[in-house]
Chain A
Amino acid sequence: TQLLEQSPQFLSIQEGENLTVYCNSSSVFSSLQWYRQEPGEGPVLLVTVVTGGEVKKLKRLTFQFGDARKDSSLHITAAQPGDTGLYLCAGVGQTDSWGKLQFGAGTQVVVTP
């Protein structure tokens, strides 16, 4: 059972369009991380958010942590083919005293030229 639910599961868009991926839970997380994974490779860390309501920007990517620290979103502006990949959110639960990351199932993003 996935504690973190991601939506949509799959997203296919044209280059230049915007997209948003959501990560939701009924549990509170101490911190939440977003990763991008390409086929056959390990997940690559994009960002860590810690404070409720926090917004972080990484070039064309904007990450937001919900006020209650139960949800997060990733927004990509003017998507490029290089943004193609599996986007995973992962959180450390409040009751997990060590770094036991719980992952969502992921959102597969495909950006076509």
Chain B
Amino acid sequence: DSGVTQTPKHLITATGQRVTLRCSPRSGDLSVYWYQQSLDQGLQFLIQYYNGEERAKGNILERFSAQQFPDLHSELNLSSLELGDSALYFCASSVVGGGTGIMNEQFFGPGTRLTVL
């Protein structure tokens, strides 16, 4: 158990809908990261937040948005869902959000499996 929690575990929805994925980081971690894992793309970095502020962006679609709240939990919002958005979505957390070494090691949650029908 990494200490990172994600809800829900599974989500099934229809095209065009909007969903919210939730992540609680490990106690003491200030940085939260979101990743998407699909069969053809592998693990892709979406976005990072550090202490409530957006710090880095990957190939995140405009239909997707995220935020980190004062209690450090984070939510990833996916809207106008398409079939191709079906994937595993992982949240990870680390103590800090940059540099090298153990303070930057990322610990992953169990993921949310999103299925868009």
Contact = CB atoms under 8 A, between A and B. Distances in A.
- Specify whether A and B are partners: yes
B110 interface: yes
B43 A43 contact: yes
B72 to A, nearest CB: 15
B13 interface: no
Contacts of B107: 45
The interface size bin for chain A is 20 to 34
- Interface residues of B, dominant DSSP: strand
Interface string A73-99: 000000000000000101010001111
Contacts, number: 75
Given A31-B104, A42-B109, A101-B33, A2 B42 contact: yes
Interface residues of B, number: 33
A45 B43 contact: no
Contacts of B104: 31, 92, 99
Contacts of B102: 48
A93 B99 CA distance: 10
Interface string B35-60: 00000001111001010000110100
Nearest to B10: A40
B85 interface: no
Contacts of A99: 31, 33, 48, 56, 94, 96-98, 104, 106
Contact of B108 (A30, A31, A44, A96): A44
21 contacts: A2-B42, A30-B99, A40-B88, A42-B108, A45-B105, A45-B107, A45-B108, A48-B105, A50-B101, A88-B43, A90-B43, A92-B104, A98-B56, A99-B31, A99-B97, A99-B98, A99-B106, A100-B48, A103-B45, A105-B42, A106-B42
